[in-house]
Amino acid sequence: MIAPEPIGVVAGFTPWNYPAVLNARKLAPALAAGCPIILKAAEETPSAAIFIVEALEEAGIPPGVVNLVFGNPPMISEHLLGSPVVRVMSFTGSTPVGKQLAKIAAGNLQRCVLELGGHSPVVVFEDGDISKAVSAISEYKFECAGQSCNAPSRILAARPIYMDFLARLVQAAERIKVGPPDNPETGMGPMANARRIEAMKRLTRDAVERGARVETGGKRIDRPGFYWPPTILSNVHPESQVLHEEPFGPILTVAPFSTIEQAIAEANATEYGLAAYFFSNSSEIQKRMIRSLSAGAVSINHLKGVSADAPNAGIKQSGYGYEGGVEGLRTFQNLKLVNATETVAVKWATEIA
The pLDDT of residue 116 is 96
CB within 8 A of 87, min separation 6: which ones? 7, 8, 9, 10, 35, 110, 111
Residues with active-site annotation: 115, 149
The residue with greater pLDDT, 246 or 305, is: 246
pLDDT at 350 over 60: no
**pTM for the full predicted model:** 0.93
What are the residue ranges of CATH 3.40.605.10 in the chain? 2-116+318-352
Average the pLDDT over each of 73-87, 171-185, 269-283, 295-309 and give the range with the smallest value: 295-309
Average pLDDT for 189-218: 97
Stretch (H or E) spanning 257: strand 251-257
Considering the domain delimited by 120-300, tell me its CATH architecture.
Answer: 3-Layer(aba) Sandwich (3.40)
Considering the domain delimited by 2-116+318-352, tell me its CATH architecture.
Answer: 3-Layer(aba) Sandwich (3.40)
What are the residue ranges of CATH 3.40.309.10 in the chain? 120-300
